[in-house]
Amino acid sequence: MRRRRDDGAVTTRTEPRTLEPRRAHRARAIADAEAPLTRGTDRYMEAAAHALALAAAEELRLARGTVRGARVLLLVGGGHNGGDALLAGARLTARGCRVTALMATEHPHETALERARTARVETTAVGEEDASERAAAALATGTDLVLDGLTGIGAAGPLRPTAAALVEPLIAAGERGERPFRVLAVDLPSGTGADDGALPGPVLAADRTVTFTCPRGAHLLPPAARRCGLLDVVDLGLPAPAGEPLVERPADADLGARLRVPGDADHKYTRGVVGLLAGSESYPGAAVLATTAAIRAGAGMARVLAPRRVVDLVLASRPEAVPAAGRSQCLVVGPGTAPTEDPDAPEAARTAELRDAVAGVLDDPAPAVVDAGALPLLPGLLGDGRRCAAVHVLTPHAGEAASLLTALGEETNRAGVDAAPGAAARALASLTGATVVLKGTPTLVARPGRGPADADGTAGAPRDEPGDGPRTADADGAAPDAPLLSLDAGPGWLATAGSGDVLAGTLGALLAAARADEENGLRPLDPAAVAALAVRLHAEAGRLASERTGAAPAGGPVAALDVAEALPAAWRLLHDRACYGAD
């Protein structure tokens, strides 16, 4: 904003941002940014209640066609979230709803409680002994909508006993889409970790969550993100935190801007050449899928480095593939391979090729994708000065991530990674020096940082060796590293054999193209952004493929090759979103 001073000079002042719908900040940072404006006033609580009531009305129309006559249950805790729920309930009574509030606190927000009672909201205080019974009785009357205002971003750990008892019959009523009521969460589903997205205890999954100013970690980090449903980020006029976020969700329009339409002067090397050391006697189809994906994602050339039988299969479906080594701008190592330590095993020779290839990756600053069977070879090759670079992208799922972390000195298992995937992704990036794509719902991308992660996914000080043990975050609790990227990974139909091979080939093609653009002075290579683009391209291809076999939004079954063949349409879609600003 430009302002004229009394002396006639013009000064420039940056107004604080009041809406950041794609950047999740720490709960403490959010509270600190809001405190100067919210202290001593209920103005912003009224605005929040207004947004909640509007969202509740939309949910009721969706569920039953009308708002009037609906039965609404408020779950009320202490603090502002409980107050927001009570004030929203008061507004809903004015629209003809019958509203009941079950209060799991001895200290509800006094002003909000008075307003709710004045509006004829039926309020009942519950304790651990009768909370479950009261909630079950409310359901028996035919509840249409539940407003979850039990806890807010300041809470930590699992729900307290009374709140846990209150949600127990609601959780038992069934999953989203199966239960007879809809759930609207205030700020975040109660019991989720605001910063780390953890689920330390029972959580009532929401159909929709209304939060304010910016997301919290719970909205973008699994496993909590999967409990939030549709997310609304509402502008209350409060300032967003000024520091680096914990997590970001890049817009498709921004990612799609990295897709370049080739011009008259382009050739295969300016479009990007990808090499694929993929496939084996045991898993030959993976090479077909990865190669097809690389070509359909826009590679100027795909080189296939595989056993003769695998090469023949690839050429039968992709005759433009080149079965020879040579110059490439990105190497994809590992899809469809299963390394063995048995020198007499059929895969022994392929294992030796894989190990040499991974060692070559570590000695070369060129982009590479390390996937599937190549991942377990990595820990044994790190050390003695060897370390991945940021242009080396690892693509583990939770089980592979757990094995890698354990091999690198951070003992864990798949359940541990599933419980804290943000921390696992950061730790892997820190321990290896690579960019990490941790596959899941949502998928996370971590840039290499200064040190291993603590429990909430923030990173600490550097360390010398993988076995030194975990370090904690900086003393002030701030995350010193770049934020995690959280990405919609597409429909559940993508959970099919070969889908990861398609993602690896897609990522290889995009990295090769990005390196070519960098070589030609067009744009610096940002491995994390390219990885995020690959995830979204793969996700949209999966959605498009599923919509060919079943009606949207549910879609229908897909095979991995269907996803690969849908990549050009997904490419056009993301490119158009960049051109026209859609998302």
Element (H, E) at 11: strand 10-12
What architecture is the 272-441+480-531 domain classified under in CATH? 3-Layer(aba) Sandwich (3.40)
In 3D space, the residue among 84, 72, 41, 196 whose CA is nearest the CA of residue 145 turns out to be 72
- Is the omega angle on the peptide bond into residue 215 within 30 degrees of 0, that is, cis? no
What residues contact 116, with CB distance under 8 A and at least 6 apart? 86, 87, 89, 90, 99, 101, 123
Q: Which of 152-166, 312-326, 498-512, 562-576 has the lowest mean pLDDT?
A: 152-166
Task: Work out the end-to-end distance of the chain between its first and last CA atoms, rounded to an integer number of angstroms.
Answer: 27
pLDDT surpassing 70 at residue 474: no
Mind listing the pLDDT tens digit for each residue in 426-468?
999 999 999 999 999 999 999 997 543 443 443 333 333 333 3
Parallel, antiparallel or unpaired: strands 122-125 and 98-103: parallel
Boundaries of every domain in the chain: 23-35+43-248, 272-441+480-531
Burial of 506 (0-12, 13-18, 19+ CB in 10 A): buried
Strand order in the sheet with 182-186: 122-125, 98-103, 71-76, 145-149, 182-186, 208-212, 230-234
Instruction: Output phi, psi for 274, to 5 deg.
Output: -115, 135
Binding region for K(+): 81, 148, 190
Return the pLDDT at 384.
75
Q: Which of 11-15, 47-51, 271-275 has the lowest mean pLDDT?
A: 11-15
The structure tokens 């209150």 sit at: 166
Return the pLDDT at 342.
83
Structure tokens at 514: 């990005």
Structure tokens at 494: 């993508």
Q: Are 255 and 232 in contact (CB under 8 A)?
A: no
| Average pLDDT of the chain to the nearest whole number | 91
Q: What is the mean pLDDT of residues 551-579?
A: 95
Binding region: 80-84, 148, 152-158, 187, 190, 286, 336, 397, 439-443, 500-501
Q: At what angle do helices 567-580 and 285-296 cross, to 10 degrees?
A: 30
Same fold, 23-35+43-248 and 272-441+480-531: no
In 3D space, the residue among 421, 452, 457, 450 whose CA is nearest the CA of residue 438 turns out to be 421
Instruction: Say what the pTM is.
Output: 0.91
To the nearest 10°, report the CA torsion of 321, 326, 330, 336. Answer: 60
Return the pLDDT at 462.
33
Burial of 463 (0-12, 13-18, 19+ CB in 10 A): middle
Collapsed DSSP state (helix, strand, coil) of residue 113 = helix
Burial of 15 (0-12, 13-18, 19+ CB in 10 A): exposed
Burial of 397 (0-12, 13-18, 19+ CB in 10 A): middle
Structure tokens at 36: 């100067």
Collapsed DSSP state (helix, strand, coil) of residue 265 = coil
What residues contact 505, with CB distance under 8 A and at least 6 apart? 274, 276, 278, 289, 290, 291, 292, 293, 294, 297, 302, 332, 335, 564
In 3D space, the residue among 234, 166, 249 whose CA is nearest the CA of residue 203 turns out to be 166
User: CA–CA separation, 555 vs 502, rounded Å?
Assistant: 19
User: CA–CA separation, 206 vs 184, rounded Å?
Assistant: 6
pLDDT surpassing 70 at residue 30: yes
Structure tokens at 362: 């570590």
Return the pLDDT at 341.
84
Could you give the percent of the chain with pLDDT greater than 70?
92
Q: Are 437 and 456 in contact (CB under 8 A)?
A: no
Return the pLDDT at 479.
41
Long-range contacts of 430-434 (CB under 8 A, 24+ apart): 430/459, 430/481, 431/405, 431/466, 432/378, 432/382, 432/387, 432/388, 432/392, 432/394, 432/404, 432/408, 433/387, 433/388, 433/389, 433/390, 433/392, 434/370, 434/388, 434/389, 434/390, 434/392, 434/393, 434/394
Fold of the domain built from segment(s) 23-35+43-248: Rossmann fold (3.40.50)
| DSSP conformational letter for 429 | H
Collapsed DSSP state (helix, strand, coil) of residue 14 = coil
User: CA–CA separation, 64 vs 70, rounded Å?
Assistant: 8
Q: Are 535 and 445 in contact (CB under 8 A)?
A: yes
Rg (CA), the chain: 26
Q: Are 147 and 85 in contact (CB under 8 A)?
A: yes
Return the pLDDT at 512.
98
In one letter, which amino acid is 462?
Answer: P
Q: Which of 43-47, 203-207, 436-440, 497-501 has the lowest mean pLDDT?
A: 43-47
Return the pLDDT at 552.
82
pLDDT-derived band at 475 (thresholds 50, 70, 90) equals: very low
Mind listing the pLDDT tens digit for each residue in 352-384?
999 999 999 999 889 999 999 999 999 999 977
Binding region for (6S)-NADPHX: 80-84, 152-158, 187, 286, 336, 397, 501
Task: Report angle CA 25, 26, 29 to the nearest 5 degrees.
Answer: 95
Structure tokens at 136: 């079950």
Q: Is the dihedral of CA 419, 423, 425, 431 positive or negative?
A: negative
The structure tokens 């795909």 sit at: 302
Return the pLDDT at 450.
54
Return the pLDDT at 383.
79
Binding region for AMP: 439-443, 500
